[in-house]
């Protein structure tokens, strides 16, 4: 289903003038198939538009937003599957698999380490180790004092 420029602007939270400007400067170019009917903007375009609006609202310059969006799209990233993080200067795109892309450095890949998950795994392993150790110790005690030995 396609969306008109006016619908896209409304759904993205921007003005029609902003939308036209973003299209003219190549920031967001509609990818919709004309056979979609209803307009040139696709659902994916709406997601990109809203991401652009969010990055601008976060204080990123138009130049940085253009670079970040361009890098992510050029890398073939599924924008709808990413979490984008910015500190106002840098932009990182986080995938569900724990990888992070530096969207302003040609999609350079970094590794996200979920320490909370590591801590939970270590805690589970320690509990299992403690149970195994306790079972082993109890087994040794039972071996030292066989049943019916009178002690």
CA dist 151 and 143 (Å) reads 13
H helices of 13-114, in order, are 16-24, 43-57, 62-74
pLDDT tens-digit series, residues 29-42: 887 555 555 568 88
pTM (two decimals)? 0.62
pLDDT tens-digit series, residues 55-97: 888 888 888 888 888 888 887 878 778 888 887 777 888 877 7
CA dist 36 and 50 (Å) reads 21
More confident residue, 76 or 99: 76
CA dist 91 and 101 (Å) reads 8
pLDDT tens-digit series, residues 103-115: 766 555 444 555 5
Neighbours of 28 (CB within 10 A): 24
Residue 104's SS3 state is coil
* H or E segment to which residue 129 belongs: helix 115-144
Whole-number mean pLDDT of the chain?
78
Output DSSP code: residue 59.
T
């Amino acid at each position: 289903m396609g969306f008109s420029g006016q619908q896209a602007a409304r759904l993205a939270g921007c003005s029609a003038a902003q939308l036209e400007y973003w299209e003219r400067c190549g920031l967001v170019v509609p990818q919709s198939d004309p056979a979609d009917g209803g307009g040139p903007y696709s659902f994916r375009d709406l997601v990109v538009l809203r991401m652009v609006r969010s990055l601008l609202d976060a204080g990123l310059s138009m130049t940085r937003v253009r670079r970040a969006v361009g890098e992510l799209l050029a890398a073939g990233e599924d924008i709808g599957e990413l979490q984008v993080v910015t500190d106002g200067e840098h932009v990182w795109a986080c995938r569900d698999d724990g990888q992070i892309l530096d969207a302003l450095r040609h999609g350079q890949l970094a590794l996200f380490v979920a320490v909370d998950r590591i801590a939970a795994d270590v805690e589970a392993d320690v509990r299992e180790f403690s149970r195994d150790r306790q079972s082993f110790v109890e087994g040794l005690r039972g071996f030292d004092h066989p049943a019916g030995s009178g002690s």
